[in-house]
Structure 1
Amino acid sequence: MERVRSRLSASGRGIAAWWQALPLSAVFALFFLLPLGLIAMVSFWDYSEYEMLPGFTLKNYVQIFDGCSNVGDLCVTLKTYGSTLKFGLLVWLITLVLGFAISYFLAFCVQTSRMQTVLFALCTIPFWTSNVIRMISWVPLLGRNGLINQTLQGIGLTEQPIDWLLFSDFSVVLAFVHLNTMFMIVPIFNSMMRIDRRLLEAASDNGASGWQTLWNIIIPLSKSGITIGSIFIITIVMGDFVTIGVMGGQQIASVGKMIQVQTSYLQFPLAAANAVMLLLCVLMIVWALTRLVDIRKEL
């Protein structure tokens, strides 16, 4: 009798757990899985200049890699994906260094929790304004007649305005770092705050230097936060087209920008095929990152 009661109690808890997960699962299915399935379905449709033709065709995927079979010459798609991946890696590396340094300072160099809270709040101030406004704010600084060029010419370091400060790869990377560094700081800081300070004291008592403590204790225990921050940065940069369009002067190619252009020309099936390929590329990167570190303990 007791076994029957325990089984009924266990099944009741299981049903209750399913009911608790149902609202979030429904939202996830309605606003993520369903649109994703529609994009995948449309990617196999045909299209003309003025309409989409439901059906099944691989023409869009073939068109994406058109010309990629030429030996020694990269096609437009591979060049575009290479450019997007380049921005992703550069922004990831810079935000990782900045995010780790800032998180380390907040977690281990600031003594009081009140000051940590104040300094952490200061890091979030840029998020109080729109991304577009923060991007446009760089134009008066980096332009040919901007503040930086005027200052450099005024003190005699340059004779002519520096052209590569704006509408270039430099300005795109700078804007990405400005907009997204916080996504690297938050998970790393969270991981560092969970580190038992007694481990650091034990390492110091055993004669470990600061670099040894950093390399053997802090970095390994912060890997989950680094992985989560890396996923945020990679997924944001790989799909972004607004930042590249504004800061690149509409002259720099990216996969997100290519999809946006195809959508503006009503080439929805081709844009959907590119979106599927971009999603697969990002998922492979995320899969590789999650193979290195088990981030479930961080969530």
Structure 2
Amino acid sequence: MSAPATSLPPTGSAPGRSIAAWWQALPLTTVFVLFFLIPLALVLMVSFWDYNQYEMLPDFTSKNYVAVFDGCLSGDDMCVTFKTYLSTLKFSVLVWLLTLLVGFTVSYFLAFHVKSSGMQVVLFVLCTIPFWTSNVIRMIAWVPLLGRNGLVNDALMRLGAVNQPVEWLLFSQFSVVLAFVHLFSTFMIVPIFNSMMRIDRSLLEAAADSGATAWQTLWNVIVPLCRTGIIIGSIFVITIVMGDFVTIGVMGGQQIASVGKIIQVQTSYLQFPLAAANAVILLSIVLMIIWALTRMVDIRKEL
């Protein structure tokens, strides 16, 4: 006679383990809902409210979004909204390119040219020194350097390179981009350096043994293996620059417009529903940029 078949235990997780998993996720979920989802929902709700000079009126209306794009669908000239968004995107692209160049170069030097792990840590910590003080202080530090009577203009005039102080060094688009790169390069250095440190060094030796030049190894081995760090750093830099208004206000001399600056001005005039509408549009554009970047690499899988 054949032995009786024994029933196998169910493959699913036990109810106790499922409940334990929910309890473990509850604190993070609560924080996420309270400090992310609910504020976003409130901003979206307020963007459809009406307002006057004194108060917000909880009445559903779409006039705030119409006001944002007022004049965009009529006339030959580009409306103020599109000009402002294009200006903000221009700053984001320029800062992204420059921080990517700086971040990749510094990370490459630390990961592949500094042999001592202790020295790598020391130099990496030096890259984080800007975070030890306020962004505003770091921006103001450029004023005595780039001002009309600053050290840079003084040196140029002493060398005979210019006959009069260079005006565009401060309170210009140049100074805004320079401040952005100074403030946010670390956001690009950290993830790229982390990706480079995870590269198997035997792959570089195999590329060298195969006759690849240094540039071929860099482009065909190192860059593809660093794409996760590049994408993460790009998300950090682009999202911060898109919503920034302090740097543009200080280094641009209150003369350069950006979406973040418009939202800040609208809130100062108590136009909260209109500012909320601009914030929702800006958030939508940023989310589309993030979605496009994350399509290039599966960050969850790579991490």
Normalized against structure 1, the TM-score is what?
0.97
Superposed CA deviations along residues 204-249 of structure 1, whole A, max 9, x for unmatched, are 1111111111111100000010000000000000000000000000
CA RMSD of superposed structures (Å): 1.3
Deviation at 1:126, TM superposition (A): 1.4
Aligned counterpart, 2:262: 258
Are 1:60 and 2:54 matched, yes or no? no
Q: Give, in whole Å, the separation in 2 of the partners of 1:173 and 1:275.
A: 23
Gaps of 5+ in 1: none
1:178-197 correspondence to structure 2 within 5 Å: 178-197=182-201
**Larger Rg: 1 or 2?**
2
Secondary structure of 2:232's counterpart equals helix
Superposed CA deviations along residues 35-63 of structure 1, whole A, max 9, x for unmatched, are 01000000000001111110211000000
Are 1:76 and 2:80 matched, yes or no? yes
Q: Give, in whole Å, the separation in 1 of the partners of 2:262 and 2:230.
A: 30
Given candidates 93, 114, 117, the residue that maps to 1:110 is 114
Aligned counterpart, 2:215: 211
Q: Give, in whole Å, the separation in 1 of the partners of 2:173 and 2:7.
A: 70
Q: Give, in whole Å, the separation in 1 of the partners of 2:26 and 2:271.
A: 36
1:1-299 correspondence to structure 2 within 5 Å: 3-4=8-9, 7=12, 9-299=13-303
Deviation at 1:297, TM superposition (A): 2.9
AA aligned to 1:286 is I
Deviation at 1:98, TM superposition (A): 0.5
Secondary structure of 2:218's counterpart equals helix
Deviation at 1:128, TM superposition (A): 0.7
AA aligned to 1:131 is N
Report the CA distance shift for 1:160/1:191 in structure 2 as closer, same or farther (over 3 A): same
Aligned length: 298
Secondary structure of 2:14's counterpart equals helix
More helix, by proportion: 1
Deviation at 1:2, TM superposition (A): 6.7
Q: Give, in whole Å, the separation in 2 of the partners of 1:197 and 1:209.
A: 16
Q: Give, in whole Å, the separation in 1 of the partners of 2:91 and 2:111.
A: 29
AA aligned to 1:82 is L
AA aligned to 1:20 is Q
Deviation at 1:4, TM superposition (A): 5.0
Superposed CA deviations along residues 9-57 of structure 1, whole A, max 9, x for unmatched, are 5333222222111101100110011001000000000001111110211
Q: Give, in whole Å, the separation in 1 of the partners of 2:7 and 2:19.
A: 20
Secondary structure of 1:292's counterpart equals coil
Does the 8 Å CA contact 1:225/1:298 hold for their aligned counterparts? no
Q: Give, in whole Å, the separation in 2 of the partners of 1:289 and 1:44.
A: 30
Superposed CA deviations along residues 244-266 of structure 1, whole A, max 9, x for unmatched, are 00000000000000000000000
AA aligned to 1:212 is Q
Q: Give, in whole Å, the separation in 1 of the partners of 2:76 and 2:176.
A: 29
AA aligned to 1:237 is V
Report the CA distance shift for 1:68/1:119 in structure 2 as closer, same or farther (over 3 A): same
